[in-house]
Chains A and B, each alone.
Chain A
Amino acid sequence: MNIPVELKYSKTHEWVKMLDETSALIGITDYAQDALGDVVFVDIPEVGDAVTVGESFTDVESVKAVSEVISPVSGEIAEVNDALDEAPELLNQDCYGNWIIKVSGITETEELLDAVAYEEYLKTCEEE
């Protein structure tokens, strides 16, 4: 399982890359894309929408299932990754190279895990 050390992780399998104090890129982790299988649709949200810690900001759909993507931060969507509209499989091919949203004006961030802690956490997920 690929878990880059420079990123932070949520227990709902999103990754966060802080760009500065108040903005960040958010995507789904290798574990999440593997669990989903072939991603066939990403319901790209609108720029300007607010996101809230612990709340879903989009759905990622695979052939078999739909999965909500939970925001680990509160703020406003500054940019969306439009490439996922035409090529949702990018999330399978390179989940860390393909962020879903860029959030700015972050006012709150949930307690995130570093790579080591996330890897430990994944072990408990697999035991379940």
Chain B
Amino acid sequence: MSELKQTVLHDVHVELGAKMVDFGGWDMPIQYPCGIVEEHLATRQGCGIFDVSHMGRLVISGPQMVEFLQHVLSSNVEALELNQAQYCIIPNETGGAVDDAYLYRYEEGNYFLVINAANIDKDKAHLFSYAKDYDVTIEDVSDKTASISIQGPKSKEILISMLGGQQPTEDPSKNALATTEIDGIPVRIAKTGYTGEPLGYEIFVASEKAGYFWKKLMDMGAHPAALGARDTLRLEAALPLYGHEMGINKYGEDIPIFSVPLAKFAVSFAENKGDFVGRKPLQKQAAAFRRILNRDFAACVDLPYRIRPIALLEKGVLRAGFPVYRDGEEVGYVTSGTMVPYFNTEGEGMATEILDEMSRRSIGLAYLKSDLINDDHVQIDVRGKKLDAVVVPYHMRTDAPPFARPILWQPEEEEELHVSDDYAAKAAALLKKAAGNQVWRQSECVNLIPSEMTASPAVHALCASDPSNRYAEHKKVRAFYDSEVFYYQGTKFIEEVECLLVDEMRKYLGCTEVETRVTSGQMANTAVFSALMDFKNRVDRKVTPKRLGYIMNNHIIRGGHLSAQPMGALHDYIAVDPVTEKPALVNFPVCADNPYKIDVEAAKELLLRYRPELIIFGKSMVLHKEPVAEIRKFVDEQGIQTTIMYDMAHVLGLVGDHFQKPFEEGAEIVTGSTHKTFFGPQRGVIGTNWKKEDLKYGLWETIETRAFPGSVSNHHLGTQLGMLMAAYEMNAFRDAYQSAVVHNAKYFAKCLKEAGMDVAGDPAIDYTETHQVITSVGYGQGYEVAERLERNNIIVNYQATPDNEGFTASGALRMGVSEMTRFGFGEAEFKKLAELMADCVLNGAEVGEEIKKLRAGFTEPKYCFTDAQMEGALGALSEKLGF
């Protein structure tokens, strides 16, 4: 037997007292003296570091590198952007796996491929056998480089501190890459890993520097973890291991790649991949896989087994090789199994607390007949004893960063419905509770949710008045020269109201056409996207309509509206790019020194590259004006055929001299919700600025039909009536209100900063140009701080910043001054509020009573009509309403 190979960190492991084993020809640590359980838990709770230098590292370059990789890898290499990585499988000609791998694109000129240690020679022979047909070079840099995997919730802060405060990767998403320096030493960082941790990185450094980084990481509190923990962590994350879940099965056959759930993401049949290795058998497997997901088990012929997570329900430990039975019939075997530790938790949802106390569970992965579904019970032959186990969808979830959350299987229990029959008592109790909530929210709390507003008494009264439960469907009829024809009787009043509202909103927005029937901002966007798609396809109705793409928008994590994302209102209207196989979306780039601001010059480059047919401005986390005029000028100069839309949901009430005039700047469509900075009840609005002779006037008419009958039948006539009063108020008080909001936001931001809070944004513009103020409160602390403020009568949003992985990792608060400005707060009040808030956030002070006192003098909405004539009319209406 040849001598075992050693990584550059070998002696470090021995010095740490690691137990060393032969792992694929390498002398590697299986565990350090503290043991696998502690290493596993240290990674889940803090940060584990793993020497993964034994893995193979290849650099592929040359004029035909893309064609070659498209041919030998399962993934769509052309979809891989610069500074991104992708998981892939190296398929064989019959649809089995030679290995699985990770492909990294750190530079334009080459690709970096990481393969399993035990397969290096086999993989290289395989890749070289195909490489001879391509103009490519494959260089094995395994010896020159070392790699350390840094995994767990604390990994990010450790790296940030090593990087002198800089984020490890500009993009906080999985698979993001960065090339940087630490202490003057070049380092490549990847947000990847094999533990399932939502926060995890792998770094690549020159071999001789590995020891330096290992020590530095340990000094910063990272916990060495070895192959044993790496295995239990990946098993809990249900990640496949070559030789167990991939490769050759127990019966001596190739495991079809589509037996592995990750194949769904790792295998691409994009046209540009051509006739890649294994394409035909993989397509057959994929077809079977899709049918099996639809529970068409006749397809099992082409994909008889699938890898599924299983959980043992009795005492014992699952181990690789154990046969699995269903009602006495052998249906597969355990491919990986052990007992894994986890921390117990207390509480629910965002308030879930991870305790110090741990438990264990025996879980595994199994190669099971494809007709087994989730929750199916199976019996495992544990050395002669048959133990009950269950097929589960997953063992752990990573969708609530910064922690990976263990999921324990629980039998479905029939929920009993507890609804008492004492309706009179329940009705009275409901009113009492509502009254209590009214008092708290309207006279004791300071409301800083930027998307909220309190409507005036007149708006409230009108919303409750008679049209509120009526119908008034109407539609333009060409035969009557486009007059609006109403389908219901008794609607003359609301018809007049709607005409008046349209005129007031045209005046407010400064545009030619307005649609007011949509009842939310999200609905406004859906109607617009639907209309854009319909308009695009109007010239040929005999084929399936084409979706929209490319579309340029703000990334959700950088403040983009949910309703302008594929997961929101774009869902059914955005195309998939056949080359990248992803939604045909391109995000506005942001300034390197200010992630809240669009980088206009970089955006121009993307506009030329993608020539998007729709550009959507607007954000829900918004500190700056959007560069509408600059982008309009650029697309006109370049002749880019596009539509510019501005989703002004958050800033609808700021349209004007103190913020932006979207149509003057070149937007063609404005959508918005009427109840954030605007004074209205909760509705939506769409404005466009085309004239009858314009080609796109047809798009406006399509928007009207996508509002009705496309989106609403009943367009909520009560709030439409209230909206007219809100529009009167806004048009009457616009200048005073808007200047006060923007002034107060800047002043509040400055006061928070002076009080010691970490205010986001550019100090040169007093942090904000809108109603919003963002403050950082520490990574992952947003929810806890927001809860504390709520207990102290200050209502804010916890908010993920552009550096945060998602809302559960929120490290900021998002606040808006508009509602309190409407209640009359000025400099003195915002200064006091900033001081109390900072005291509560920074010192944990109880400020609830002082906040109540601060609010007590400001309970009547301003910027609305309060003259005698108005009071008389409102009194009369209220009396008719029975208030």
Interface residues of chain A, those whose CB is within 8 Å of chain B, are 37-38, 40-41, 43, 59, 61-64, 66, 85, 89, 92
Contact of B339 among A41, A59, A85 (CB under 8 A): A41
Contact A64 B30 (CB under 8 A): yes
Contact of A38 among B35, B315, B316, B383 (CB under 8 A): B35
CA gap between A89 and B36 in the complex, in Å: 12
* B232 closest partner in A (C-beta): A63
Contact of B360 among A40, A43, A66 (CB under 8 A): A40
CA gap between A66 and B232 in the complex, in Å: 15
Contact A63 B37 (CB under 8 A): yes
Contact of B317 among A37, A66, A85 (CB under 8 A): A66
* B229 closest partner in A (C-beta): A63
A64 contact set on B, CB distance < 8 A: 30, 36, 228, 338
**B192 contacts the other chain (CB 8 A):** no
Contact A38 B317 (CB under 8 A): no
CA gap between A83 and B360 in the complex, in Å: 15
Contact A66 B339 (CB under 8 A): no
CA gap between A120 and B175 in the complex, in Å: 54
The residue among B31, B37, B232, B316 with the most chain A CB atoms within 10 A of its own CB is B37
Contact A40 B37 (CB under 8 A): yes
CA gap between A62 and B340 in the complex, in Å: 10
Contact B339 A37 (CB under 8 A): no
CA gap between A89 and B38 in the complex, in Å: 11
In which size bucket is the chain B interface? 20 to 34
With A37-B35, A41-B339 given, name 13 new contacts (CB 8 A).
Answer: A37-B31, A37-B36, A38-B35, A38-B37, A40-B339, A40-B360, A43-B315, A63-B228, A64-B30, A64-B36, A64-B228, A64-B338, A66-B319
A89 contact set on B, CB distance < 8 A: 37
Can you report 6 residue pairs joining A to B where beta carbons are below 8 Å apart?
Answer: A37-B31, A40-B339, A40-B360, A41-B362, A63-B338, A66-B383
Contact of B315 among A41, A62, A92 (CB under 8 A): A41
Q: For residue B77, give the distance in angstroms from its CB to the closest CB of chain A.
A: 37
Q: A63-B232, A64-B228, A64-B338 are in contact. Are A37 and B362 (CB under 8 A)?
A: no
CA gap between A87 and B208 in the complex, in Å: 43
Q: For residue A125, give the distance in angstroms from its CB to the closest CB of chain B.
A: 15
Q: A63-B339, A64-B30 are in contact. Are A41 and B35 (CB under 8 A)?
A: no
Contact B36 A61 (CB under 8 A): no
Contact B31 A61 (CB under 8 A): no
B36 contact set on A, CB distance < 8 A: 37-38, 62-64
**B19 contacts the other chain (CB 8 A):** yes
B19 contact set on A, CB distance < 8 A: 37
CA gap between A115 and B339 in the complex, in Å: 33
A40 contact set on B, CB distance < 8 A: 37, 317, 338-339, 341, 360
CA gap between A98 and B316 in the complex, in Å: 20
Contact A61 B317 (CB under 8 A): yes
CA gap between A1 and B339 in the complex, in Å: 27
CA gap between A37 and B339 in the complex, in Å: 13
CA gap between A58 and B31 in the complex, in Å: 25
Contact B319 A37 (CB under 8 A): no
Q: For residue B1, give the distance in angstroms from its CB to the closest CB of chain A.
A: 15
The residue among B19, B317, B360 with the most chain A CB atoms within 10 A of its own CB is B317
CA gap between A40 and B360 in the complex, in Å: 8
* A40 closest partner in B (C-beta): B339
Contact with A along B664-688 (1 / 0, CB 8 A): 0000000000000000000000000
B340 contact set on A, CB distance < 8 A: 63
Contact A92 B35 (CB under 8 A): yes
CA gap between A64 and B336 in the complex, in Å: 11
The residue among A37, A38, A40, A63 with the most chain B CB atoms within 10 A of its own CB is A63
Contact of A61 among B35, B38, B339 (CB under 8 A): B339
CA gap between A62 and B36 in the complex, in Å: 9
Q: For residue A121, give the distance in angstroms from its CB to the closest CB of chain B.
A: 21
A63 contact set on B, CB distance < 8 A: 36-37, 228, 232, 338-340
